[in-house]
Structure 1
Amino acid sequence: MADAGDSPLIARSLSGRNLVKALLLPTAASEDEWRRLAIRPVVARRDPEATEAKPNAVPLASALDDDVIRFLNTRAPLPMWLRLAADPTLAPALRDGLLETAWTRAVLAEDYAMARRAAQMRVASPSQAATAATSAKGPDPIAGIRRSVKLADTDTAAWHRLLLERMASTTEVLLPPHWSGAEGIRTPPLKPGIAPAYDRAMAIGSYGKWCRPLGVPVSGPQAATAADFEMPAFLSQEERAQQEALVGKLRAIPQDSIYFTQESLALMQRNRADPLVPQALSVAVKMARYTCPDKAVGDWSRKGLQTLHANYPNSTWAASTQYWYGGR
């Protein structure tokens, strides 16, 4: 980004270059240019602006800053997410996280063809060699994503069940449908048999998924405005229409604990004997402890708890789920 006309500070500072990229991002005339401006090196120095900083320091990895994250969550259609994930300059942890987030986003929006594409890319990720080695010694952390590659677009019930299964899994972590910005940081899988308060940070990361599926505030100084949803001119009309439809669907989805309680009850109606039902109900009830406070959260958490104890009173999931919650 820097050239002879730049100040010495910018020319020698990765942080300065990142600032220039952030300033230029809204002016990107093509998607290729947008990606070059969006993917930025992590500054590894404590004081990157200091004149004594080493100009040849190697960045630890690439990252997505807040401006890019907000753009992805509100303005970028899913195909753009996948093209970004395919960029070879993107850090592996970012790539895999983007693909898993895109998978959740697509399944929630019932765009199963796009979810399968994200799954195929995630399974084919170069980091899968390490994942396969790990899986040989224990559970596969993306087993559900791997299975989704073979699901039919028309099998809506199977996709809904798989999303519920990944949410309640003790070996997988379902990422939220928006990019949270915690690059490379993966919360550990759930331990539903242990009270959520045993490790506050882990419980919030594993149980809580989203307050708002689009990941942007609806009130306050950071609240999303119409400008946040304006798509860039370089997108095709087809992808503009896809993004508009996706935003509409995600806006209609309630908070995580409400959504998964409703999905658990729907699965119970389809197959009361499905062993996933009591497990999913238990996790959804506990999830309400870490979501945003709302009367509806408490109402659905209480309903989930009552249903769990009324229909599966002798299950270990009922025994480990004694309270309902109304958010924090």
Structure 2
Amino acid sequence: MASLRPIALPWTDGFARGLPRRFNRIASDTTLFEPVATRVLNHHFTATMILDIIDSPGLSDYQRGRMAIAGWTKAMLADDVSAALKLSPHIRRHVPVLDPELALFEESPDKRFEAARIIFDYPAISPWMLPGIGRIQSRYDGTRLETRPMPDYVADGWSGYNWWCTAYGPHADDARRRADDTTRGARFAHYSEDDLENIRKVTDALATAATTAFGPHVIRYARENPGDPRVPRTLHRLVFATRHACYTAPGDISRAAFVLLHKHFPDSDWAKKTPYWYDGQI
């Protein structure tokens, strides 16, 4: 698999290695995804195909972690809980901040809600990987601009870093046509027609926003389990995502979460932090 090492970074190796475990520690010897390989993995690799290559030699922990997250998200988008469970240990191993979350996912009787809860808590979770050093943030400390990796739980002011951007309308149609053309190439000649169809279905996720795909699981669970103490925060995070995700759900999902939160938990801190609901962009 094509990888690269950074020629230069906006931080020192000492700074990277001294970051807390919640950060992605990228140093000058960390192998990263180059753009073409990233595009192929994003658009033409299913969760099962990612499982097949995730232990390939030469990959860094960072690469394996990003691949595992992307594959797990693709699996849940496809409602393939079995594949998601196989990828979960890889996330726990290579992305320490998500270890306790994925442990809960593995044990949960309602894995669709658990996945939704985790996704809305971590804006870096996406079926698409970023090439190079991935998500970064810059802050001015009064004397200079400091750039560092962005923790997976942080939502950026630029929505393109939050969850994933979707293709829609003619853009989605173009993506599907490109997927059809690509899977006819020699690289995919040894796959069965069923495999190729699953690869093409990966492209359909381009038209499905995080809030559209996983918001209904949160709303369903909240209605069925109002006594779960995690519900108020998860409803808040869903509303938050309908505001900050890169393309998001229709307003009815945001409004439903808002109404449930304020109806059943009006005095909670999470209701106080959620004064509005949002009408989505698509």
Which structure would you say has the larger RCO, counting Cα contacts within 8 Å and 6 or more residues apart? 2
**Distance (whole Å) between structure 2 residues aligned to residue 87 and residue 118 of structure 1:** 15
Structure 1 length as normaliser, TM-score? 0.62
1:311 counterpart = 2:264: yes
Cα shift readout 1:103-134 (whole Å, capped 9, x = no counterpart): 121122111121111123334x4x57xx4xxx
Give runs of aligned pairs for residues 81-96 of structure 1, distance below 5 A.
Answer: 81-96=50-65
Amino acid of the residue matched to residue 259 of structure 2?
A: Q
1:196-253 superposed Cα distances (whole Å, 9 cap, x missing partner)? 7xx736x874xx31242xxx565469952512343221324453243345555x36x7
Shift of 1:280: 1.4
Determine if contact 1:119/1:145 at 8 Å carries over to the other structure.
Answer: yes
Say whether residues 1:323 and 2:272 are aligned partners.
no
Matches within 5 A, 1:1-328: 35=1, 39-44=2-7, 60-123=29-92, 125=93, 127=94, 131=96, 140-150=97-107, 158-169=110-121, 175-181=125-131, 183=133, 185=135, 187-188=150-151, 190=153, 200=157, 205=161, 208-212=162-166, 219=170, 223-229=174-180, 230-231=182-183, 232-244=188-200, 247=203, 250=205, 254-292=208-246, 297-327=250-280
One-letter amino acid of the structure 1 residue matched with residue 101 of structure 2: G
After superposition, what is the alpha-carbon deviation per residue over 1:1-23, rounded to whole angstroms, capped at 9, x for unaligned? xxxxxxxxxxxxxxxxxxxxxxx
- Sort the Cα spacing of 1:168 and 1:64 in 2 relative to 1 into closer, same or farther, 3 A: closer
Structure 2 residue runs of 5 or longer lacking an equivalent are 10-27, 136-148
Once the two structures are superposed, what CA deviation does each residue of 1:151-180 show, in whole Å capped at 9, x if it has no partner? 6xxx5xx111211221344xx666112223
| Kept in 2: contact 1:104–1:174 (CA 8 A) | no
Q: Which runs of 5+ in 1 are unaligned?
A: 1-34, 47-58, 132-139
Q: Would the alpha carbon gap of residues 257 and 225 (structure 1) be closer, same or farther in structure 2, given more than 3 Å must change?
A: closer
Root mean square deviation, CA, Å = 3.4
CA shift for structure 1 position 261: 3.2
Number of corresponding residues: 245
The letter of the residue matching 1:98 is M
8 Å contact 2:47–2:83 — kept in the other structure?
yes
TM-fit CA distance, 1:317: 0.8
| Distance of aligned partners of 1:105 and 1:224 in 2 relative to their CA distance in 1, 3 Å threshold | same
> Take 2:171 and 2:198, find their aligned partners in 1: how far apart are those partners?
28
Q: Residues of 2 paired with 1:98 and 1:147: CA distance?
A: 20
